[in-house]
Amino acid sequence: MAAWWDAVTAVMPWWAWALGAALAFAGFTFAWVSALAVLSAAGTHHGTLTPRQRRLARYASIASLAAVPLTAAVGLFALLAAAWALLA
């Protein structure tokens, strides 16, 4: 396992992994905010939306919610890689 982390962290320096982790966590926050914004806007104006707009709001909220665990996993991986590269 240690050899695998050594191979992964050899790709970039530790600060690049840390920057990638920060950007992934920013994407994580943006995904949550966009999901909440779409859901609250669709819920507030539900009666005035056409069926097509309701369907698009549902797809947008699903896409935003799907991005949340993905960006969290990428951010955590990059953070672990930065820590491994810094401590190794």
pLDDT along the chain (88 residues), means of 10: 90 95 96 90 86 90 92 96 93
**If DSSP codes are grouped into helix, strand and coil, which group holds residue 50?**
coil
Query: What pLDDT does 1 receive?
Result: 83
Percent helix, strand, coil in the chain, to 5, is 90, 0, 10
What type of residue is 77?
F
Residue 30, CA atoms < 13 Å, CB-side half-sphere: 8
Query: Whole-model pTM?
Result: 0.79
Helix 51-87 vs helix 2-9: angle between axes, to the nearest 10 degrees? 110
